[in-house]
Structure 1
Amino acid sequence: MNSTLGRSENRIALDDPLTDGRQSENALKVWRGAARLLRSLDFACLSEVTLASGRRADLLALGPKHELWIVEVKSSLADFRADNKWPDYRQHCDRLYFATHPDVPLDIFPEDAGLIVSDGYGAEFLREAPEHKIPAATRKSVTLRFARHGAHRLHDLSDPDGKRFYRGL
């Protein structure tokens, strides 16, 4: 059965359209808890949004006052050590957070980023991220990417064969 957020199984399946198949079960749980926390603060969240730099944000959140937050999901110590691209995300957001689960040592995460711990059902902030407002032109560009990504995701859900008509214009 293909489960999605909000259904009674309370889980995301690896073949779910919210994922691209590269995420581990732990990463999906961390993502889900972090997204629920942000939604409780009236943020809209999208996963795997490609930014102008070519990097993909694990979770891009758009807040009620147009603030943009990026949450980098780390499901293990090895996952954190293998990734050195996260500092690049700061140029695309007002706040940068890491999200992880309780089994990952928390002291590995840099002090100059926020920290969220998720158990898969919910999450909490352990450390707020410092704010670094992005320029208006960047905000507009990232917000447009957010909107287009969300619209494409909805279209893909309602018309799974629609991708074959995309010509990359």
Structure 2
Amino acid sequence: MPLPALPGQRLARGVARLLVGLGHAVLCEFVPVRGLRVDLISIGPKGEIWIVECKSSRADLRADRKWQGYLGWCDRYFWAVDVDFPLGLLPEEGGLILADPYGAEIARMAPETRLAAPRRARLTRDIARVASLRLQGLADPGLVSGAAP
């Protein structure tokens, strides 16, 4: 399979490989609530939810005005960048993952802020529904918005 074309997608590929190796189920480009779209969200072996935002350049980081809104939708929040990214530009909040298209490593573990049970239940359900619909779309590309044509 060819590498993704966009730099952020290449970072996301490496981060997804790391997370799967840690026992997480990963979903790319997920909308936890209207107006927010995260690069990666994962559910860990104990039900913990992590969000990872991939930043491929200074401009990409400067353009992201919504990242603080992601903090209320996960137990741990991470920035993912490549090894050449100027780390001093990243906000202190969150963990740090260094990535390339082939893998990643956690350079700084994110602090844990546990989600409230009702939000966790809703988010877990929404992740499962989106993942299921995407998988079904691969099996039956004729599906539109979850309904057969």
Fold shared by both chains (TM-score > 0.5) = yes
Q: Counterpart of 2:37?
A: 56
Q: Structure 1's 144 and 54: CA in aligned 2 closer, same or farther, altered over 3 A? A: farther
Provide Cα deviations, 1:61-112, integer angstroms capped at 9, x if missing partner: 1000000000011111100001110000011100000111122111111222
Question: Do structure 1's residue 87 and structure 2's residue 68 form an aligned pair?
Answer: yes
Q: Distance in 2 between matches of 1:37 and 1:152?
A: 24
Q: For the Cα contact (< 8 Å) 1:35–1:45, is it kept in 2?
A: yes
Q: TM-score w.r.t. structure 1 length?
A: 0.82
Q: Distance in 2 between matches of 1:90 and 1:165?
A: 29
Identity of matched residues, %: 43
Q: Counterpart of 1:132?
A: 113
Stretches of structure 2 that go unaligned for 5 or more consecutive residues are: none
Q: For the Cα contact (< 8 Å) 2:133–2:146, is it kept in 1?
A: no
Q: For the Cα contact (< 8 Å) 1:49–1:145, is it kept in 2?
A: no
Q: Structure 1's 164 and 117: CA in aligned 2 closer, same or farther, altered over 3 A? A: closer
Greater strand share, structure number: 2
Q: Distance in 2 between matches of 1:29 and 1:92?
A: 24
- Tell me which stretches of 4 or more aligned residues in structure 1 moved more than 2 Å: 164-167
Q: Counterpart of 1:120?
A: 101
- Structure 1 segment 1-169 matched on structure 2, within 5 A: 3=1, 9=2, 11-12=3-4, 24=6, 26-163=7-144, 166=147
Q: How many residues align?
A: 148
Secondary structure of the 1:161 match is coil
Q: TM-score w.r.t. structure 2 length?
A: 0.93
